[in-house]
Amino acid sequence: MVHFVCQSGLQPCVLGTSREDHTQPPPCTGCIAQSNRLYNGADVRSFVYQEDPHLAARLQCLSVDELGNFAYESPHFALRTPGFAPLPLGRLVLPSIRWALRRHTLPEDEAARYLLRQYILSAHQVAGKFADLLDQRQPQAVVIFNAAMYPEAAARWVARQMGVRAISHEVGFQQYSTFFTEGEPTAYPIHIPKDFELNSEQNARLDAYLEKRFQGKFTMAGIQFWPEMRGLDEAFLKKAAGFKQIVPVFTNVVYDTSQVHANVLFPHMFAWLDSVLEIIRQHPETLFVIRAHPDEMRPGTRKLSNESVRQWIHDQGADNLPNVVFIDSQEYISSYELVQKAKFIIVYNSSIGLEAALMGASVLCGGKARYTQYPIVHFPASAADFRLQAEQFLSAASLQPPPEFQRNARRFLYYQLYRISIPLGDYIQAAPRMGFVQLRPFTWEQLLPENSPALRLLVDGITRKQTFLFPDS
C-alpha cells in the first residue's frame, strides 16, 4: 500500500506530506517538518528534484495557452513501457496554478509562464519518481488526497497508466468527515439505488439538518461561512416591488477545484456570466440579484480571489443597470429568502442549486455540479440551450419543477450527508487556525478497525475493494 499526500507550490515535497496552503514559495520546510513528525518511523521516500534539461528547453518558448495544453512523450516512460501515453502535463498542473494565483484566466506574461514551466517540470519529476516507486513496491493500491493539485494528479495518472488501483479522498459534507472514491473526488460521484426511498426516521434526520442549514449554522472543511445571516431589508423589498419577477443568480469561486468538472457548457464561469448579462439586458422587467459566493473573499485567509465577481460586475457596468442588485461575498443576506421570492434561480454549480431544489424551486444550472448527475435541476445540453431555457422560464406565466426533482434532491442530499461521508469526529477536532483540524486525544485501540465502523469501512474499501458507503444508522 502506498499513501501519497503532497500539496506543494513549485517543488515536490516528500512523500507523505500534507499541506493546506498552496501559496507559500519553496522550499516547503513546513511540509517537511510536519511529515517528519507525522511519519516518524514510517517508510518515507523523499523525491529530490532534478530538472530535465530537454523538457526545460522544450518549454522555454511556449505561450501560456501552449503550456496549459502541453503533453510530453517522456523518454523515462518510453523506455519503461512501450505505448505509454504522453504525459498531459499542462492539464495536470492547470488546477494548481489557478488555485495558487486565485484566478481562472491566466495572464500572458512572463510570471505566469515561469510558474507554468516550473509546475510542469515538477509534475514530470513527481510522475517519474512515483513510477519508480510503484515499480519497486508493487503496491495493491495507492491512496491519494484529492488528486486535484499537480503532485497528486501526476501520481494518480501514473498509477492508472501502470494498472495500479488509485483511491482518492476529499472532505466530506458532514463536519469532520471524509469521502473516498476511485472516481473524481471533487466531483463527488454518488451511486443511489433506484429503489432507495427515505423512511420517516431518515426524513426527520434530514429535516433537522436542513433546519440548521437554512439558518446558516453549518461548516464546510472547518469553515463557518455564515457568521450571521440577515433577512431581506425594506430597501430591497421596495425595489423588488417595481419589477414583474425576481431571478437570483448564484456564482461560484472561479478557481475552485470543482470548476474542473463544471466547465462543460461554458469555457469558464465568467463566460457563463457574460451570457447571463445578455439575458439581463434584454429583460428590464425582471430584477436579477447576482450573488457572489461567500468563499470568494473569505476574510482572515489568503483565499482571496484575484478574478472576482465583484470586479466583473464593475468591469461590465452591471452595477449601473436598474434591474440588477449585486450582493457581495461578505454580505450575509439569506439566500434562502431570495429563493422563496424568486420565480426561478440561476446557478453555475454551487450548493444553493441543490438546496433550492429541496425547497421546491425551479433551478437552471450553467455548470455541471455534483447534483446534476441526477434529475434534480434543469441542466441544458449546450450554452445555446441554456439561453433558450432561460428565455422560456422568463416568459412562462408560472413555473413548477417536475415532482421527481424534489424527491431526488432529498435522496441525493441524504446520501451525500450520511452514506458517502465517513465520520472521523472520534479522531479530529477544530484547530485554533481557521479551516484546520487537529488530532484529538484517543487510545491506540480506537484505531483498530474492529473498534471503529469508520476505520473498518476504510480498511475494507482500500484493501478488499468494498464500497466506501457508511452504514445507515
Q: What is the CATH number of the domain that holds 381?
A: 3.40.50.2000
Answer yes or no: do 398 and 428 share one domain: no
Q: What is the pLDDT of residues 143-165, one digit of tens each?
A: 999 899 999 999 999 999 999 99
Answer yes or no: do 251 and 267 share one domain: yes
Answer yes or no: do 38 and 158 share one domain: yes
Mean pLDDT of 310-337: 92
Residue 21 forms part of a structural domain: yes
Answer yes or no: do 459 and 384 share one domain: no
Answer yes or no: do 20 and 149 share one domain: yes
Q: What is the pLDDT of residues 93-145, one digit of tens each?
A: 999 999 999 999 999 999 999 999 999 999 999 999 999 999 999 999 999 99
Count of residues in the chain: 473
Among candidate residues 418, 433, 449, the one where a domain is terminated: 418
Residue 191 forms part of a structural domain: no
Domains contained in the chain, number: 3
Answer yes or no: do 401 and 453 share one domain: no
Residue 66 above 70 pLDDT? yes
Residue 66 forms part of a structural domain: yes
**Rg of the chain, C-alpha, whole Å:** 23
Structural domain containing residue 295? 200-418
Cell of 149: 493539485
Answer yes or no: do 17 and 34 share one domain: yes
Q: Distance between CA atoms of 192 and 447, rounded to whole angstroms?
A: 29
Listing DSSP states for 62-86 in one string gives --HHHHHT--B--HHHHHHSTTPPP
Mean pLDDT of 279-283: 98
Residue 23 above 60 pLDDT? no
Answer yes or no: do 145 and 204 share one domain: no
Answer yes or no: do 322 and 388 share one domain: yes
Q: Distance between CA atoms of 260 and 372, rounded to whole angstroms?
A: 15
Answer yes or no: do 349 and 366 share one domain: yes
